[in-house]
Amino acid sequence: MRRRTPPPPAPLPQRDGVDPVRVRLPAGEEWATVGEHLVARLSGAGPGVIEAMFAAGRIVGADGQAVPADAPYRPGMFVWFHRELPAEVPVPFPLPVVYRDEHIVVADKPHFLATTPRGGHVAQTALARLRHDLGIPTLSAAHRLDRLTAGLVLFTVRPEERGAYQTLFGARRVAKEYEAVAPYDAALTLPRTVRSRVLKERGVQAAREVEGEPNAETRVELAERRGALGRYRLLPRTGRTHQLRVHLNALGVPILGDPLYPEVLPPVPAGDFRRPLQLLARRLEFTDPVTGAEHTFTSGRTLLAWSSYPRWAAD
C-alpha cells in the first residue's frame, strides 16, 4: 500500500492556543482558481468572508506567503488560515496541572470546560488554555472528557509520542476511576457490573442502550450514603460516549445535574455555571509507554453536591 505523504508544517503560528485551519485542494475537481474553490467550499463562513480574507492576505501557502484569490487551482496544494473564533464566555475556573514532564501533562479539568476545540468551544478549552499558559504549542490530548465532566485529562507533549499514549486508552491499559453523586436507592443491589450496548448517533444529544452485543462495561459501587444521596465509585472497563451517565440512569439513579439523562433539558444560557454535572474523573493509573514509569494520578477536586448540597442546589 502506498504511504500518504504527510502535509508540510503549518506556516502560521497558533493563535490563543488554537492551530490554524489547513485545507488541501482535492484532486479530481476542476476549478479555475484557488479563490473560486474556497469560496464554494467554505460557504458556511458567510457572504464575503472568504473574499475578505484573501484581500487581507490571511490565506497563505506552505511558504507562509499570502495566496492571491486568482492563483491557479493546483490539486494537492495546501493552504492555511486562522478562522474567526466564536464569541465565548470565559469558563471562570482554574485548570491546575497535576503533573508535568518532558513527555506528558496531566491536568485537573473543571466542569464546563471542553477538552479540545469543537463546535462553539475553541479558545475556551483545556487544550488551548494549556498550550497558551504552559507555552507548549505541540500539546495534544491523549483522550477526552465530556465538557460537563470534571477531572483528570492526559495530554502529550511530543507529536511523535501521542500515538503511544492514545493506544493505552484504546487497548484498555489505563485504570480509570470516576466518582458521581446521585440519588440513593435502597433497592439497588451494589456492587454490580453493568454491561450493555450503548449507541450514540451523530446529531443526537443523548446516547441510548440498544439490543445487541455489549460494548460498554462499568463496575458500580456505593462508596458512601448520606440521606437521600449516594456517592458512587465507577470503574469503567470501556470508554463509550456518555457510558457512565447512561449506566447510572439505567440503574434508576441518574447523576445529579445531568441535562440529558433521564430527559433532555433545554440548553442553559451561556455563562450559567450553576449545578454542574456531579461526575468526576478521580484517578488515572498506567504504565508510561515511553519511560516505563508507573503513574498514579488523583484529582484534587470534590463534588459540590456531596460537600455542600444546599450550595449546589441553590438558584
Residues acting as catalytic residues: 146
Lookup: cell for 85 = 473564533
- What is the residue whose three cell numbers read 441535562? 259
Q: HSE, CB side, 13 Å, CA atoms: give it for residue 304.
A: 16
- Cα–Cα dist 89/74, whole Å: 40
Q: Which amino acid is at 310?
A: P
Give Cα 95 distance to the centre of its chain.
15
Lookup: cell for 204 = 443526537
Q: HSE, CB side, 13 Å, CA atoms: give it for residue 212.
A: 8
Is there a contact between 164 and 138 (Cβ–Cβ < 8 Å)? no
Q: Which amino acid is at 68?
A: P
104: β partners: 156
Q: HSE, CB side, 13 Å, CA atoms: give it for residue 167.
A: 9
